[in-house]
Chains A and B, each alone.
Chain A
Amino acid sequence: MTGQPGTGLEPGTNQDVHRLAHRSRAQTRVRWELLRNLVRKDLKVKYKGSSLGFAWSLANPLLLLVVYTFVFQIVLKSGIPRFGIYLMSGLLIWNAFSGSVSAACGAVVANANLVKKVRFPLAVLPLSAVGFAAVHFLLQLVVLFAVILIIGYPLIGPDLLLILPAGAVALTFTVALSLLVSALNVRYRDTAHLLDVALLAWFWLNPMVYAFGLIQDKLHEWTWVYLLNPMAVVVITFQRAIYHLPAGYHPPPGSSPGAKSVLAHSGYSFYLEHLAVAGGISLALLWLGLHVFRTMQADFAEDL
């Protein structure tokens, strides 16, 4: 055995006590480095030995873009111009969210062997699932941007900065829900099933496949209820940031009423206000998620 840092330290000294406390914390607090290693592990395991696999996961949204454009714009005539871009600008963040939450849900249970035998910060398990999805999301976003620029649609502008607050809210909300469901799923194993169903329904509560205007037409002054869903706010903000209607676009007469306003609002303050509310909801949920995870994690080893 080579280096034995600290064994030369006199036991009982202040420095030594400090060192012990530090090393104890390293096994109980979430560290960036550990999180990064776990995300890297997941990526490595997933794309091991196939650079094609990695390209494939990036090509996947492109393929979706082509298919959905065909179905919704040509076959169903949804009336939303540049439908593929519209869809992708909302769908990528939704996929990152739902992918994180459902992976996080099984994360603790899948690592039962580790949880029962090793002392480590358990929260890294759901958090690394979020990290994994976040890496994918960023790469897919880059691909989407590239496609938009290649086609020649407008993209670069102050609008694009809306991604930052929206991304922050999405991250907070995703982390919060991931912690919550991963803890619940250890004791209540049907959480995963319920979550699957909930995510399926939740998908349609976000204006990704349809235009937000449709909701405004139906709900009028009650639209705020719809926007209590933080993901809906995140989705419309992403659309506002990335998607642009063709210059001089006017909805063709006789088309579906929702088409008259594809985007929720033309200004910024509308989005920022709603993001603030969604952020507040996310923070409250984060508090709840952390509380539940901290309370329940002590029993993980027993429940698994």
Chain B
Amino acid sequence: MARHSSAYQRGSSFPTGAGPSTGAAASTGTTASTGTAASTGTAPVGAGPATGTTPAIGAGPVAGAGTLTGAPTQAGRVASAGSPAHPGPVEPVPDTAVVINGAGISKRFVSYHNRATSLKERFVRRGGPAGEDFWALRDIDVTIGRGQTVGLAGANGSGKSTLLKVLAGILRPTSGTVAVQGRIASLLELGAGFNGELSGRDNVYLNASLLGLSKREIDRLFDSIVDFAELRHKIDDDVKHYSSGQYVRLGFAVAVHVDPDVLLVDEVLAVGDEAFQRKCLAKIAEFRAQGRTILFVTHSLDLIENMCDRVLVLESGTLIYDGQPAVGTKLLRQKLGSLPAEGPVDWQFATVRPHSVTFAAEPGGPLMVQYGPDEQLTVSVELDVTEGAPEHVYLHAYIVGQEEVPIWMMESPPGGFRVGPGRHVIDFTVPHLPELLGAFAVKVHVSDASTGAPVTTRRFEELFGVNGSQADGLLKVDYEARLRG
């Protein structure tokens, strides 16, 4: 059982991966935003916070959080009005050709509880328990013009990759329309279409043919593909004898040589060795220079700031920002750095389910909801752990006040708790409650202690009250009032 108290601000080190990036945010965030402030003062949302952070170097995410708090709501529907309203800073090439046009895109993934997966079920089993459907995207409008380099950013499970696939015409939106003009090639499929039994030459022809090229076009590009992949000596060998590096190189060479109008990149830069990544980035930069359209999914905010003209920020399937990369990444850093991102799954479907929360003075003592300052409080969180849960779970319990303002946070000791399947109760005991006034709730965030990957988040409805003596305000502080002069 953990017995350490902490101020809420320590929450910046919670394990959603924002820990290291908050550090980076302080430096890269400010440099990038200085640049933006200087170059594009026109962006209505961007100008304010960007200049605001410039003097506050070192304050980093905290200052950013302060200045940008209004941004999500304010910028919330920039999406719809965004690109047409101020095309200047967003589109580098004044351009009438729209390559991708999506309107009102929503995507629902039907829960497998609800869907027949065999003909037998389709005709025999009607009705049955209804599972929750999951909306991966909600009502997204986006227009992407020729020559834009657009980054798709957001926390895990926010719908980035889904949006990329919908825009690429691979997934169909549940509602809304997507129109794509031109040839799409993607770096999410390096060698996906290769057949190990065929030679490199045959595979190049087949893969390029799938991407919509005619034989004549491939004939013309063939030499340059082979040279780029540095595989001239092996091009007539079967692909199954290639090393994984050679395989990926050939796939990459085909994807970038098919003269795509739109290039899709999905976290591809996370794979491959450093030399390959450099080559990827160089090629992407070359594509930018040629005025091609590039769509990017990445977690690397630095990459977005360096490579993109525009960023789309998604949160739980909603487009919350569309515009300047510097502003978008700051918004995202602030979001990732303040409260834990929503776990990738709803708590009801998680492997570790925060089942209930109770309040008492002693662990296991009679339940109470009303406490006085300086009294002892034990917050007991009951976890329902199922098969397939992480071996060690890490818990953050946020005590939140009105309007979800976090008052303080409590977490598991380093390394988390080792739990097996079944019910477990974790007690957080506060020996002396501070001088507070109000009713408070608990928000529990569960993550995998070994990887830091979020498991789920649940905000409980149960409240406990603390009746401090002060008449107004949340907190009692020592002060004195005196008349001067």
A residues near B (Cβ < 8 Å) are 1-7, 11-12, 16-17, 20-21, 23-24, 26-28, 33-34, 37-38, 41, 44-45, 48, 113-114, 116-120, 184, 187-191, 194, 298-299, 301-302
A189 contacts B117, CB within 8 Å? yes
A188 contacts B202, CB within 8 Å? no
- Least CB distance, B267 to chain A, in whole angstroms: 13
In angstroms, Cα B209 to Cα A20, docked, is 17
- Least CB distance, B219 to chain A, in whole angstroms: 11
CB contacts (< 8 Å) of A189 on chain B: these are 117-118
CB contacts (< 8 Å) of A116 on chain B: these are 170
Chain B: how many interface residues by the 8 Å CB criterion? 58
25 examples of A-B residue contacts, CB within 8 angstroms: A1-B228, A1-B256, A2-B221, A5-B217, A5-B259, A7-B259, A12-B95, A21-B181, A24-B182, A26-B183, A28-B169, A33-B209, A41-B202, A45-B195, A45-B198, A113-B193, A119-B170, A119-B180, A120-B210, A187-B116, A188-B116, A189-B118, A301-B171, A302-B109, A302-B171
CB contacts (< 8 Å) of B286 on chain A: these are 1
- Least CB distance, A42 to chain B, in whole angstroms: 9
Given known contacts A7-B259, A34-B210, what 18 new A-B pairs fall within 8 Å (CB)?
Answer: A1-B256, A3-B221, A3-B259, A5-B217, A16-B97, A17-B97, A17-B181, A21-B181, A26-B212, A33-B214, A38-B206, A41-B198, A119-B170, A120-B211, A120-B212, A187-B117, A194-B119, A298-B172
Interface membership of B78, Cβ < 8 A: no
Interface membership of B449, Cβ < 8 A: no
A7 contacts B192, CB within 8 Å? no
Q: Considering only CB atoms, which chain B residue lies closest to A194 in the complex?
A: B119
Interface membership of B122, Cβ < 8 A: yes
In angstroms, Cα B193 to Cα A28, docked, is 16
CB contacts (< 8 Å) of A6 on chain B: these are 259
In angstroms, Cα B117 to Cα A7, docked, is 46
A114 contacts B210, CB within 8 Å? yes
Kindly identify which residue among B147, B213, B257 contacts A11, using a CB–CB cutoff of 8 Å: B147
Interface membership of B290, Cβ < 8 A: yes
Q: Considering only CB atoms, which chain A residue lies closest to B191 in the complex?
A: A113
CB contacts (< 8 Å) of B93 on chain A: these are 11
Secondary structure dominating the interface of B:
loop
In angstroms, Cα B95 to Cα A16, docked, is 12
B170 contacts A117, CB within 8 Å? yes
Interface membership of B336, Cβ < 8 A: no
Interface membership of B146, Cβ < 8 A: yes
In angstroms, Cα B355 to Cα A24, docked, is 50
- Least CB distance, A20 to chain B, in whole angstroms: 4
In angstroms, Cα B96 to Cα A301, docked, is 32
Query: Restricting to B99-157, which residues have a CB under 8 Å from any CB of A?
Result: 99, 109, 115-122, 146-147
B206 contacts A41, CB within 8 Å? yes
CB contacts (< 8 Å) of A188 on chain B: these are 116-119, 121-122
A114 contacts B193, CB within 8 Å? yes
Given contacts A1-B224, A20-B261, A302-B109, contact A119 B168 (CB under 8 A): yes
